[in-house]
Chain A
Amino acid sequence: KAGVTQTPRYLIKTRGQQVTLSCSPISGHRSVSWYQQTPGQGLQFLFEYFSETQRNKGNFPGRFSGRQFSNSRSEMNVSTLELGDSALYLCASSSGLAGGTQETQYFGPGTRLLVL
């Protein structure tokens, strides 16, 4: 099985711009979660999508949004970029069927976003 893929891998934007990142989960997986990773804050949960519905949300401002398509691919969008949005954005996929019980998440390589 192919792993989780994320595009683009690297991105440079300027303050005020918006950006869209894409994540393709492992085939058959219906859950996609997004995380922001920074050196100071570690991995911070953004949101999770399952069957095209946002199932859970972290504590990020409304500038961060996402969606999921019928083929389970997911996008996240950040509008009005700020310098502090520079980070590695990781998505993780899982089957999503285990509910609250343990389910391994498989991470993609991430998109490294630099905001100038």
Chain B
Amino acid sequence: GQSLEQPSEVTAVEGAIVQINCTYQTSGFYGLSWYQQHDGGAPTFLSYNALDGLEETGRFSSFLSRSDSYGYLLLQELQMKDSASYFCAVRFSGGYNKLIFGAGTRLAVHP
């Protein structure tokens, strides 16, 4: 089967660093994506890892380890506007644009 697991909630303070983990089980795999969704809004693309290693985009970084079926999203210098839900999503071989999403991690950033 295909499944992803991520923590349901994470809390942090402004200026801090937070890591959101994602583990997946799959029989075929193309890459791991991360999406952000604010309450009442649409999911928006943050990053994608096709190969092992770290991808950095400004304050956000994403990491993938294929051998461990594991990835994470790292958010640095947290701001209040980062309070949102974060979803990891996997595209499987042959799945074209079929994304399997994790249940989402709700990040609350406090002053």
Contacts and interface: CB of A to CB of B under 8 A. Distances in A.
Nearest to B46: A104
Contacts of A104: 45, 48
Contact of B99 (A4, A41, A45, A110): A45
A100 B95 contact: yes
A102 B96 contact: no
B45 A48 contact: no
B102 interface: yes
Contacts of B99: 33, 35, 43, 45, 105
Contacts of A92: 43, 97
B98 interface: yes
Contact of B44 (A48, A50, A107): A107
Contacts of A100: 30, 91, 93-96
A72 interface: no
Listed residue (B33, B43, B100, B101) with the most chain A CB atoms within 10 angstroms of its CB: B43
B98 to A, nearest CB: 4
Interface string A93-112: 01010011111111111100
Contacts of A99: 96
Interface string B46-57: 001010000000
A55 B102 CA distance: 22
A64 to B, nearest CB: 15
Interface string A43-60: 111001010000110100
A113 B99 CA distance: 22
Interface of B: 30-31, 33, 35, 41-45, 48, 50, 87, 89, 91, 93-104
